[in-house]
Amino acid sequence: MVCNLDCLLDIMSYRLGPGSPPGVWVCSTDMLLTVPPDPGISWDGFQGARVIAFPGSTAYAQHHGVYLTDSQDFVLDIYYQGTEAEIQQCARPDGRVPLVSGVAFFSVETAEHLLATHVSPPLDACTYMGLDSGARPVQLSLFFDILLCMARNVSREDYLVGRPPELGQGDADVTGYLQGARAQLWRELHDQPLTMAYVPDGSYSYMTSSASEFLHSLTFPGAPGAQVVHSQVEEPQLLGAGSSVVGCLLRGPVRLDSGSVLQHCHLQGPVHIGAGCFVSGLDMAQSKALHGLELHDVVLQGHYVRLHGTPIHAFTLVGRLDSWERQGTGTYLNMSWSEFFQKTGIRTWDLWDPDTPPAERCLLSARLFPLLHPSRALGPQDMLWMLDPHEEAGEALWAWRASWRLSWEQLQPCLDRAATLASRRDLFFRQALHKARHVLETQQDLSLRPLIWAAVREGCPGPLLATLDQVAAGTGDPGVAARALACVADVLGCWAEGRGGLRSGPAANPEWLRPFSYLECGDLARGVEALAQERDKWLSRPALLVRAARHYEGAGQILVRQAVMSAQQFVSTEPVELPAPGQWVVAECPARVDFSGGWSDTPPLAYELGGAVVGLAVRVDGRRPIGARARRIWEPGLWLAAGPRQDEMAMKIVCQSMDDLQDYCQPHAPGALLKAAFICAGIVSIHSKLPLSEQLLRTFGCGFELHTWSELPHGSGLGTSSILAGTALAALQRAAGRVMDTEALIHAVLHLEQVLTTGGGWQDQVGGLMPGIKVGRSRAQLPLKVEVEEITVPEGFVQTLNDHLLLVYTGKTRLARNLLQDVLRSWYARLPAIVQNAHSLLQHTEACAEAFRQGSLPLLGQCLTVYWKQKKLMAPGCEPLAVRRMMDVLAPHVHGQSLAGAGGGGFLYLLTKKPRQKEAVEAVLAKTEGLENYSVHLVEVDTQGLSLHLLGSGTSA
């Protein structure tokens, strides 16, 4: 909960305070302030004291204090409720006047002068030391006693005979005592300079007992829509422009007219709150009292009261225009007392004792508000009848008279603030749970992270977890369920309070296999239920909470995997002649460089937001660095080799049984990608009960050998693993007597990476399997389908690009998996910065594609610069210090630069200002300290893409 004191502390700490010299800030708490982020206050050469002033109209100033200053902003005088001429004298060029705001600053020297007075009579009476010594109390005003004596136009004689407005007129004894105090202040402070800092873009509003002014401070007249804060509103179209809803749960048709405020209410429509109303503290049961009514210009509040230990729910009703002052004739429900008596049948003796003097018969002392009835519970209806007493007025009046009633001044000391805060807390979480359900089920880009933190810190994560379970189990959309499970993981992670280890980590503990198996089989309801049952065993300490959070993220990835598997419907093959046993099928590919849009291709962003990536197929140092070869062999098994192209350097694995394939879904297991390729190519069925040899003999009459290689370092950022998967699938399919086109292969790689559980996107295989320069796109829908558009560039631009494009291996190996987990966690949390950046990635991709069509190197350089900033926003920590140093020294020589892929290490690609700059770049880096194991490489656009060819049966590939 935030109150005005919190706002003032924030303003003083972060807006007015920064830049001020050592000293003492003083701020009253009886006003509402707004201050721009940079108020423009200069402290150069400051001495003495300074007051902060805000603009106000001359009409408003007639009831407040204003400063008169000279051209250098030295304070000449301070007027309180000044004459029209005095106020006009203070006007600024824009016609507004500087209002006394209740904020002042004292330099160290001036503060010491002020502090010196506390031991001198009669000012010692302002401190407890003086009071405890028997001194007579003295009341002083900060502005009209202490600061006024520092104003340049105030003479000593006028100052000594003056009185602060708080004292009014008093007896001569008080006047003499006050003159002594003022004389002491004059001696200490008059020589201290007093200046004013004016904040023209700020605002000041003094807090009064006026309901109209209170409503004005809570609403936004002229605003295009309603202000809704910490509330869930089922029909927001019924909220009038300029109205305000705070901490409410509004179900059904609840209409709120302009200029009205609802706070801390749980209402069930139909309800109509007309203009000029403030309604607070009503629950679902009391909302029935509002059915059929249309309130106007009233303040209706529910209060928690405790009388002699007994809790009571009381209700008060007053008019917006009523005065709470004791002076004057007074009103109630915006009408005179006589009109009210005539309208309702209530009499003076119902409200005041007969011996109450007429001067004290006011709204504050009127016993209007029922607390207890002898035979039934009370509600808002026991006050609302006064608004329209024509129907059944006698019965309502009798019930009101039969109730034990209190006046506001009697009721106020009995208010149970603890119960009020507890009720508001309960309502906050009730509306928050409704909002969480609505946000998830309607797939809104609103972050639930603040609610998660609030639930954990308030010690009530249980109801939130239950709601998330219900959403996950009840939805038919795997995307909604996956986000709900990710939110559960967030709750558990927040619950651990930063202890218990890293959020990213393994998620294959055997205790979680049963719920995972339900999810794998598509039984979402039983899976969520089993997850919750297992979760309850892991809540006792931070380490268990973090491990449980990892497993919930793992459960979410199962659902993401199932969603991405929908791409499998775009995978098809055509039969071709089977190669002879021993005949190699060789697939080779370029690497890829991403120029814009990366991360948008990553599930679930690719199908929840939609993806768009500009990528280039590239040769590195003139070579196509990624490839695979496959052939049939007579032995009914699988021979695997992965590593450099030469056999003697490769890691070799022989799979002779199905047990040898069981680690296909563990990315770090030896040969896991190759094993997954056999499964996804349909050569082996992992779920078959047949032995491996029998599967191979029945279908093909032989076994297979598969070699893969990459001449790029591990973690290069050039899309190696996905492109490698594409070459492996292409070679295997051809060796098995089948072919698939490149579009089908792109989707087949998506499927393989989900089987492998690495969870990658589609940009790598699009970039490497498809030739040249292109933009890949996926729509915000399932099934996930990738469409590729070739970008046509001006004639000769490809060669220009080749002359200006370089790769620098940074010597740092990146770890994309942890980066990926962090990004997905932020996306599921819908952190505003991540959501905005994701949308920017899509927009920027189209701008980058247009820069290629224009053939503009400077524009492409700008695209790279923006793209790298977007990557850093998406994955904080993806820029190692050594890479930053490298980019800084290269910046003068390039149009733009970025780390490839997710960042964190690997290759840096540069678009140089001058052509053929390999040696120049090497020279620059050689002179830079702290760089190790780097290397510079030529790069050129590959116009071939995937190549697939057969060798003779005895030929070495």
Higher-confidence residue of 719 and 777: namely: 777
pLDDT tens across 805-845, in order?
Answer: 999 999 877 654 567 888 999 999 999 999 999 999 999 99
- Residue 950: strand pairing partners: 585
**How many Cβ atoms from other residues are within 10 Å of residue 619's Cβ?**
18
Question: Looking at residues 200-215, what average pLDDT do you find?
Answer: 88
CB 809 within 8 A of CB 906: yes
CB 81 within 8 A of CB 165: yes
For the chain, give the percent of residues with pLDDT over 70: 96
- Separation between Cα atoms, residue 616 and residue 105, nearest integer Å: 61
Average pLDDT, the chain: 91
Lowest mean pLDDT among 42-46, 323-327, 702-706, 838-842: 323-327
Question: Looking at residues 701-724, what average pLDDT do you find?
Answer: 91
Angle, helices 742-756/672-680, rounded to nearest 10 degrees: 120
DSSP string, 46-111: --SEEEEEEEE-HHHHTTSEEEEE-TT-BEEEEEES--HHHHHHT--TTS-EEEEEEEEEEEHHHH
Both structure tokens of 740: 């698939």
Element (H, E) at 362: none
Phi, psi at 143, each rounded to 5°: -90, -40
Banded model confidence at residue 180, pLDDT cuts 50, 70, 90 = confident
Question: Looking at residues 187-203, what average pLDDT do you find?
Answer: 93
pLDDT tens across 872-914, in order?
Answer: 999 988 888 889 999 999 999 999 999 999 888 899 999 999 9
Question: Looking at residues 383-390, what average pLDDT do you find?
Answer: 88
Lowest mean pLDDT among 645-654, 703-712, 774-783, 899-908: 645-654
DSSP letter (8 states) at residue 891:
G
- Separation between Cα atoms, residue 487 and residue 616, nearest integer Å: 36
Banded model confidence at residue 956, pLDDT cuts 50, 70, 90 = very low
| Number of residues written out for the chain | 957
Banded model confidence at residue 455, pLDDT cuts 50, 70, 90 = very high
Both structure tokens of 493: 């992670």
- Separation between Cα atoms, residue 948 and residue 728, nearest integer Å: 11
pLDDT tens across 487-541, in order?
Answer: 999 999 999 998 988 888 888 899 999 999 999 999 999 999 999 999 999 999 9
- Separation between Cα atoms, residue 110 and residue 189, nearest integer Å: 7
CB 118 within 8 A of CB 125: no
Q: Which amino acid is at 358?
A: P
DSSP string, 438-497: HHHHTT-----HHHHHHHHHTT-HHHHHHHHHHHHHH-S-HHHHHHHHHHHHHHHHHHTT
CB 730 within 8 A of CB 723: no
Pairing relationship of beta strands 294-295 and 271-273 according to DSSP bridges: parallel
685 pLDDT above the threshold of 90: yes
- Separation between Cα atoms, residue 945 and residue 954, nearest integer Å: 27
Q: What is the pLDDT of residue 514?
A: 96
Alpha-carbon distance values, 312 to 287, 301, 371, 377, 415 (Å): 18, 14, 7, 10, 9
pLDDT tens across 71-82, in order?
Answer: 999 999 999 989
183 pLDDT above the threshold of 80: yes
Q: What is the pLDDT of residue 195?
A: 96
Q: What is the pLDDT of residue 219?
A: 81
Higher-confidence residue of 938 and 930: namely: 938
- The 3-state DSSP class for residue 335 equals strand
Residues 6+ apart with CB under 8 A from 861: 894, 895, 896, 911
Residues 6+ apart with CB under 8 A from 604: 479, 482, 483, 560, 563, 824, 827, 828
CB 640 within 8 A of CB 675: yes
pLDDT tens across 114-159, in order?
Answer: 988 877 788 877 777 777 777 777 778 888 889 999 999 999 998 8
Phi, psi at 280, each rounded to 5°: -145, 145
- Residue 776: strand pairing partners: 613, 788
172 pLDDT above the threshold of 60: no
**Residue ranges in 521-601 assigned as alpha helix (H):** 524-535, 542-564
Banded model confidence at residue 394, pLDDT cuts 50, 70, 90 = confident
- Separation between Cα atoms, residue 42 and residue 39, nearest integer Å: 9
Question: Looking at residues 19-46, what average pLDDT do you find?
Answer: 92
Q: What is the pLDDT of residue 20?
A: 93
Q: What is the pLDDT of residue 585?
A: 97
- Is the bond into 18 cis (omega within 30 degrees of 0)? no
Q: What is the pLDDT of residue 665?
A: 86
Question: Looking at residues 398-422, what average pLDDT do you find?
Answer: 94
Determine the straight-line distance between the first and last CA of the chain, rounded to whole angstroms: 70
Q: What is the pLDDT of residue 173?
A: 60
800 pLDDT above the threshold of 50: yes
pLDDT tens across 312-336, in order?
Answer: 999 999 999 998 887 667 899 999 9
Question: Looking at residues 182-209, what average pLDDT do you find?
Answer: 91
